[in-house]
Structure 1
Amino acid sequence: MSEPIAAVVVRAAELTARGFPQRAIELLRPALAANPLHAEAWCRLAAAHLDAGQPDPALDAAKRALVLDGDHAWAQRLAALALSELGRHQEAVVAARECVRRKPGDWRCQVVLAEVLSAAPDTRREAVEVGQEAARLAPTEARAFQVLGDAALRVRDWGTAEWAYRSALRLDPADEDVRANLATVRRKRAAAPAHPSGDALTLAHAMVWPALSRLAVLLVGGGLLLLLAGMPKPTPLLGWFSGVLVVGVGAVVLQLLVRARRGVRKALFALPRHRPKVAAVTTMFGLSTLVLAGWTVALFLGATTMQPLVIAWLCALVGGSVVVLAGGR
């Protein structure tokens, strides 16, 4: 009498876990020939083929499971991994996203999506975000942190990669692959240049210049209005309007910092050292804002001079001229 297929599936899972996927395949094939409608057995066969480095039959087995009643999310995960192994990246991403759609709270679906997204340069940043979600969903699973570390390693996010690998090792100290990757991250992090990359500086420049244009409008236009309103003698009431102008400048700067990611934010602070025009504009606008803030305080204390405002406006005018003439180049 033949062995029940449920028992065969359990034995196949044990063989695969012990590193004998080919024996699991040999066990499952005849059982599925007799029970072709057993979705779990098809999934287990697909997993064994993947462990044996055979993505083509793994994809076929996963497809068979998808048309049967069973855990379709598991079948989608296996299909996504097989498609990724075959180099069919777009199809793999579609299958992995479908898996997440079916079970958004299943950390294993998030792990597979992070893995397939990491395979292409244009989706590696998203892979880090998905890996972070997997780690959030499964804080006790070393595999979730390992995949997050792998994704962060590919985008050279050394801090996230080191944290993820260290977390994975705390959960599974025996994983030598993670230990080796952690050593690689530490070595690369130590050898990484202190200055931001050219790509980060370019992205920072693309974000800074529109902000500088808005600051030019605020400081030059607002300063001119204050000059006209303050003639011939400013009053403390004018200090409220100049204070609003200073707050507006701060809001533009804060919005820029909030929008920038961590790596780009670091490049923002380094940008004036590498872009002379940005350095000149930020210096002029910074002086203008500081003088304007000081004049605002002086107005509330009873001052009646217009000279600080003139200086602030001239600084803003010089910076604004550079913004207009440079045109973001």
Structure 2
Amino acid sequence: MGESIAAVVVRAAELTARGLPRKAIDLLRPALVAHPLHAEAWCRLAAAHLDVGEPDPALDAAKRALVLDGDHAWAQRLAALALSELGRHAEAAVAARECVRRKPGDWRCRVVLAEVLAAAPETRVEAVEVAREAAHLAPTEARAFQVLGDAALRVRDWGTAEWAYRSALALDPADEDVHANLATVRRKRGASGRPSGDALSRAHELVWPLFSRVAAMLVAGGLLLLLAGMPKPTPWIGWFSGALVLAVCVVVGRVALRRAVWALPRYRPKVAVVAVLFGLSTLVLVGWTVALFLGATTMQPLVIAWLCALAGGSVVVLGGGR
């Protein structure tokens, strides 16, 4: 008898995979009348009902599986999807979180949680992070990246959505839905011009250590110039000042070609403040250097440049790169 119901479950799975979930339902229902304690069969039935857009019987079947011995995480996933389709988002989220709790290493649980969270506006940002975890757990599963793209699309994170959809297509090039969504994202991203959250975070991680080096150069170099130029600077000091400006330009030039770096000050206020202070300090140094070669003997511009560098360095130290 056990082999009989097992064979029915296998045939139902094959029918569902071939896009015939209604035939799978017709096959499973009479088998479950004879074998009502077979949890996997109830899960297969719930999945088939979801495939044909029938969340109510899918939820009933998933609940039957939950009270039997079997894969409760699978039953929780199915229950969460059915509840979500019924508009019961809070209950769906509870079921999906329980699924993740039962099997934290199962990427499918996180995929379902991301889908459920993405359905409610107040949890869409969390959905992106959960989907990102699913993609990390299953780097060879196109579905994980597709769900990440869908979640990112809902929060208008075009860069993350495009990357996720491209990753999904690299694994499954024939998915027409992903192709369509990727085309939508590219249109939207072209209209907005905003880098993705991932790109901004990577740019921040790149820029902040650079700011630390620039702060050390401008503060220490400015202090040395102050000491060397007292009481009256000479044109020879201009060569050292010019060397300092050149060194700063070389360090900054290493990351200046990255698009996200230029966009970063618009979205990270601390970066904007530090960039303005360091930029002002460098410009004043350039002007003072030129003035020295033309015969000027004032120290005031150097003091201003040094104070700007000190203020920017303080923001870098106190900000801690967060």
Q: TM-score, normalised by structure 2?
A: 0.65
Indicate the residue corresponding to 2:266 in structure 1: 270
Q: What is the root-mean-square deviation in Å for CA atoms of aligned residues?
A: 4.7
Q: Report how far residue 91 of structure 1 moved.
A: 0.8
Which residue of 1 is the match for residue 294 of structure 2?
Answer: none
- Is 1:100 aligned to 2:94, yes or no? no
Amino acid at match of 2:72: H
- In the alignment, does 2:113 pair up with 1:117? no
CA distance in 2, matches of 1:150, 1:280: 35
Match of 2:52 in 1: 52
AA in 2 matched with 1:157? D
Q: Is the 8 A contact 2:81 2:116 kept in 1?
A: yes
Match of 1:152 in 2: 152
1:159-215 alpha-carbon deviations (Å, 9 max, x no partner) = 21111111111211111111111111112222x23469xxx9xxxxxxxxxxxxxxx
Query: What's the CA shift for 1:267?
Result: 6.6
Aligned counterparts of 1:156 and 1:289: Cα–Cα separation in 2: 37
The total of aligned residue pairs comes to 263
What's the CA shift for 1:101? 0.7
State the distance in 1 between where 2:46 and 2:39 align.
11
Give how far 1:126 is off. Answer: 1.3
Q: 2:318 is matched with which residue?
A: none
Q: Percent identity?
A: 83
Aligned to 1:87: 87
* Cross-structure match for 1:134: 134
Post-superposition offset of 1:28: 1.0
> Retained in 1: the 8 A contact 2:265–2:272?
no
Counterpart amino acid of 1:13? A
**d(CA) in 1 for partners of 2:26 and 2:300?**
90
- Distance change >3 Å, CA 290–CA 29, structure 1 → 2: same
Structure 1 unaligned residues grouped into runs of 5+:
201-232, 235-261, 293-304, 317-329
In structure 2, do the counterparts of structure 1 residues 16 and 314 end up closer, same or farther at CA, with 3 Å as the change threshold? closer
* 1:21 and 2:21 are equivalent in the alignment: yes
Letter matched to residue 270 of structure 1? R
1:188 matched to which residue of 2? 188
- Preserved CA contact (<8 Å) 2:107 2:144: yes
Distance 2:51 2:39 in 1: 19
- After superposition, what is the alpha-carbon deviation per residue over 1:207-247, rounded to whole angstroms, capped at 9, x for unaligned? xxxxxxxxxxxxxxxxxxxxxxxxxx99xxxxxxxxxxxxx
Per the TM alignment, residue 104 of structure 1 is displaced from its structure 2 partner at its CA by 0.8
Shift of the 310–167 alpha-carbon distance from structure 1 to 2, 3 Å rule, reads closer
Q: Secondary structure at the match of 1:4?
A: helix
In 2, Cα distance between equivalents of 1:187 and 1:18: 33
Given that residues 266 and 272 in structure 2 are in contact (C-alpha distance below 8 angstroms), is that contact kept between their aligned partners in structure 1? no
Tell me what 2:203 maps to. Answer: none
Q: Do the aligned partners of 1:43 and 1:78 also contact (CA within 8 Å) in 2? A: yes
Please tell me the residue identity of whatever aligns with 2:185. Answer: V
Q: Which residue of 1 aligns with 2:179?
A: 179
Equivalent pair of 2:284/2:301 in contact (CA under 8 Å): yes
Q: Tell me the equivalent position of 1:41.
A: 41
Which is worse superposed, 62-71 or 150-159? 150-159
Q: 1:94 Cα deviation (Å)?
A: 0.9
- CA separation in 1, counterparts of 2:46 and 2:145? 24
Matched residue SS, 2:192: coil
In 1: Cα distance, 2:267 partner to 2:100 partner: 39
Kindly provide the amino acid, as one letter, of the partner of residue 100 in structure 1. V
Offset of 1:315 from its aligned partner?
7.9
Deviation at 1:66, TM superposition (A): 0.5
